[in-house]
Structure 1
């Protein structure tokens, strides 16, 4: 199939390794479209929720829709507010934690590397 529409009610909850006090939902998978490489999810982090310091093999974009999220990299910690985003390449070490008083909603976009 060359396209896919995902309705709000069709988002699928799943387990995200290394994450805590959060609920990730999957909106789109690479297999949804021909030659797809993008995964899109919407994650809901409770206050205190986050992800332990580590990396993955995917190019990643985090876009904060609501709330705030502290982002830690090898260069230090910064706070992302609603409307802010973070883009990193595969293998980038990072951690995130919601240190704010309300839940944080974050759109997560992951792209697997092109296959040679």
Structure 2
């Protein structure tokens, strides 16, 4: 069993992300994981990500607030407890177009290299 208290979760930054506070709850620098990592992001009003992709799929859950998600062709609005899967290689842009913060849970597999190293 590996516990990470939210108040002690390590923060991280990612390219193409702005006006966001991000912490890892499990995996990578937050502790051992064979397959995935979990993070929480708080996106300030006007904040979000650029339109980009990665080889790994991503699962987003809106925990609080309203999140706008686009893959460059389609756009959806997620409310509390709504979720969205972005496939590996699929573009995605997250945007907070409201005047209140948005809290988002992210679940993402480790890269093949990370899985081989046993992170």
Partner residue, 1:49? 47
Paired residue secondary structure (1:9): helix
What residue number does 1:100 align with?
98
Equivalent residues in 2 for 1:1-116, closer than 5 Å? 3-30=1-28, 32-33=31-32, 36-112=34-110
Once the two structures are TM-superposed, the CA of residue 50 in structure 1 deviates from its matched residue by 0.3
Quick check: 2:72–2:93 contact (8 Å CA) kept in 1?
Answer: no
Query: How many equivalent pairs are there?
Result: 113
Residues 57 and 112 in structure 1, CA contact (< 8 A), matched pair in contact too: no
Gaps spanning 5+ residues in structure 1: where? none
How far 1:25 moved relative to its partner?
A: 0.6
Match of 1:54, SS state, is coil
Q: Which runs of 5+ in 2 are unaligned?
A: none
Higher strand share: 1
How much has 1:78 moved relative to structure 2?
1.2
The separation in 2 between residues aligned to 1:64 and 1:80, in whole angstroms, is: 6
Q: Give the whole-Å Cα distance in 1 for the aligned partners of 2:67 and 2:85.
A: 14
Q: Alpha-carbon deviations, 1:35-73, whole Å to 9, x = none?
A: x11110010000100000010121210000000111111
What is the Cα deviation at residue 74 of structure 1?
3.5
